[in-house]
C-alpha cells in the first residue's frame, strides 16, 4: 500500500510521520513541496500513485480566519477539492481530517454524525465546506476530531505548561467542554483504518471517549509537569475570556460509529495526556 500524507510538518502530520505504518510506503509532503491549493503540485504528487491520501494540511488559525476568510477557504475547501479530484482519478481513498467546530455547541448531549452542522465562525464554515468537498469523491472518509494536542508543535497543553512556568496565577475557561485528543492517537487510528482497506466511506467522529473543560485540561497538564509547578488556576467564563471567533460551548463528539465500523477506539484523554506530558518533561 502507498500513502500520501499532506501537511506533514503540522501537529498531526508529524505524528503521521513517526507512527508505525508497517510495510506501507509513505510520501510525506510538507507545504513547501505540496501546496494543496496549487493543483499542479497535487497532480505531481499523484505520480506517487497512492492508494490512500491522508490530508493533514489545513488552515487552523481559528481567530485569524475571521480576518482572512479567502485564505482559509482556499486551503480548507479548494485544496481539499483538489485532493478529492485526484483521489477519484487514481481510485484512491481520501482520508480527510475535520473538526468539532462544524457544530455550534448548543446541543444538550454528545454530537453524533447525524447531527446537522451549524458552524459559528469562518474556520468552522470552511471546514464544513471542506468536508463536503472531500465527500465529492465517493470513497472519502472524513474524520472529525477535537482539541488536538501533542508533544511536537505548539498547542493548548504546551501553552498551559509555559504559562505555569512563567506565572503564579492563570485564568482558564471552564464553561466550554470537548474531548481532548492526542495527535498521536489520531495518527495510529488512521493507520488502522488504512490497513483495513479504508472500505467504509463517510463522516466519522474520532476523539477521546471522555470529556473535559479547558480548565480541566489545563489543570491536568500542569499537574503532570516535571519539575512540578503549582500556580493558582482561576476558572473563567467564556464572557470573561472573549475571542474573535465564537467557540462552541459543547464540543463533545460521540465516537461510537468509528468503533462499530473500523473497531477503532481512542484512549481516555488523561491516559494519552500522561504519555504526551512524559515526552514533554523528557524534552525539558
Ligand atoms: N489543532 C486542533 O485543536 C484541531 C482540532 C480539531 C480538528 N483539527 C483538524 O486536524 C487537522 C490537523 O490539525 P493540526 O493541529 O495538525 O494543524 P497544524 O499543526 O496547523 O498543521 C496544519 C499543517 O498544514 C499545513 N498547511 C497549511 N496550508 C497548506 C497548504 N496550502 N498546503 C499544504 N499544507 C498546508 C501547515 O503548514 P505551515 O506550518 O507551513 O502553515 C501545517 O503544517 C486539521 O484538519 C484541523 O482542522 C485540529
Cα-to-chain-centroid distance, residue 96: 10
54-88 burial by CB neighbour count: b if 16+ within 10 A, else e? bbbbbbbebeebbeeeebbbbbbbbbbbbbbbbbe
Q: Minimal CA–CA distance to 130: which of 80, 95, 202?
A: 80
Nearest CA to ligand 1 atom 44: 58
Give the pLDDT score at 199: 86
Binding site membership of 99 for ligand 1 (Cβ less than 6 Å):
yes
Greatest extent of the chain over all pairs of C-alpha atoms, in Å: 56
Confidence of residue 123 (pLDDT cuts 50, 70, 90): very high
Domains along the chain?
2-154+181-209+252-267 (3.40.50.720)
Binding site membership of 13 for ligand 1 (Cβ less than 6 Å):
yes
Burial of 126 (0-12, 13-18, 19+ CB in 10 A): buried
Binding site membership of 74 for ligand 1 (Cβ less than 6 Å):
no
Best residue among 4, 6, 10, 117 to mutate for probing ligand 1's pocket (most ligand atoms within 8 Å of CB) is 10
Give the pLDDT score at 284: 81
Burial of 138 (0-12, 13-18, 19+ CB in 10 A): exposed
Nearest CA to ligand 1 atom 39: 10
Q: How far apart are CA 111 and CA 145, in angstroms?
A: 11
Q: Out of 101, 111, 123, 149, which one is annotated catalytic? A: 123
Which residues pair with residue 171 across a beta bridge? Answer: 234
Question: What is the per-residue pLDDT across 220-263, written as a single tens digit (0 to 9) for each?
Answer: 999 999 999 999 999 999 999 999 999 999 999 999 999 999 99
Residue 123 is a catalytic residue: yes
Q: CA neighbours within 13 Å on the CB side: how many for 36?
A: 34
Binding site membership of 79 for ligand 1 (Cβ less than 6 Å):
yes
What residues contact residue 279 under an 8 Å CB cut-off, 6+ apart? Answer: 151
Question: What is the per-residue pLDDT across 194-219, written as a single tens digit (0 to 9) for each?
Answer: 998 878 999 999 999 999 999 999 99
Tell me what the mean pLDDT of segment 95-107 comes to.
98
Give the pLDDT score at 212: 98
Nearest CA to ligand 1 atom 8: 99
The percent of residues above 90 in pLDDT, for the chain, comes to 98
Give the pLDDT score at 168: 97
Confidence of residue 103 (pLDDT cuts 50, 70, 90): very high
Q: Which tops the pLDDT comparison, 224 or 284?
A: 224
Give the pLDDT score at 41: 98
Q: 4, 49 in Cβ contact below 8 A?
A: no
Amino acid at each position: 500500500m502507498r500513502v500520501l500524507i499532506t501537511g506533514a510538518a503540522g501537529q498531526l502530520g508529524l505524528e503521521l510521520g513517526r507512527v508505525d505504518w508497517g510495510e506501507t510506503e509513505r510520501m510525506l509532503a510538507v507545504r513547501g513541496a505540496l501546496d494543496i491549493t496549487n493543483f499542479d503540485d497535487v497532480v505531481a504528487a499523484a505520480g506517487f500513485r497512492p492508494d490512500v491520501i491522508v490530508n493533514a494540511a489545513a488552515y487552523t488559525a481559528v481567530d485569524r480566519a475571521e480576518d482572512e476568510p479567502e485564505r482559509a477557504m482556499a486551503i480548507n475547501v479548494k485544496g481539499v477539492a483538489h485532493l478529492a479530484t485526484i483521489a477519484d482519478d487514481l481510485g484512491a481513498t481520501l482520508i480527510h481530517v475535520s473538526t468539532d467546530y462544524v457544530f455550534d455547541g448548543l446541543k444538550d448531549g454528545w454530537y453524533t454524525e447525524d447531527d446537522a452542522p451549524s458552524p459559528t465562525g469562518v474556520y468552522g464554515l470552511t471546514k464544513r465546506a471542506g468536508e463536503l468537498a472531500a465527500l465529492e469523491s465517493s470513497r472519502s472518509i472524513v474524520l472529525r476530531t477535537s482539541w488536538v494536542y501533542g508533544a511536537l508543535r505548539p498547542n493548548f497543553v504546551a501553552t498551559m505548561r509555559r504559562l505555569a512556568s512563567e506565572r503564579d496565577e492563570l485564568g482558564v475557561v471552564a464553561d466550554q467542554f470537548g474531548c481532548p485528543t492526542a495527535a498521536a492517537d489520531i495518527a495510529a487510528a488512521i493507520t488502522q483504518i488504512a490497513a483495513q482497506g479504508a472500505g467504509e466511506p463517510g463522516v466519522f467522529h474520532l476523539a477521546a471517549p471522555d470529556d473535559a473543560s479547558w480548565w480541566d485540561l489545563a489543570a491536568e497538564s500542569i499537574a503532570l509537569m516535571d519539575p512540578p509547578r503549582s500556580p493558582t488556576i482561576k476558572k473563567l467564563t467564556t464572557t470573561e475570556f472573549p475571542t474573535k471567533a465564537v467557540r462552541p460551548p459543547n464540543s463533545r463528539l460521540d465516537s461510537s460509529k468509528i468503533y462499530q465500523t473500523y473497531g477503532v477506539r481512542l484512549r481516555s484523554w488523561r491516559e494519552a495526556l500522561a504519555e504526551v506530558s512524559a515526552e514533554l518533561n523528557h524534552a525539558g
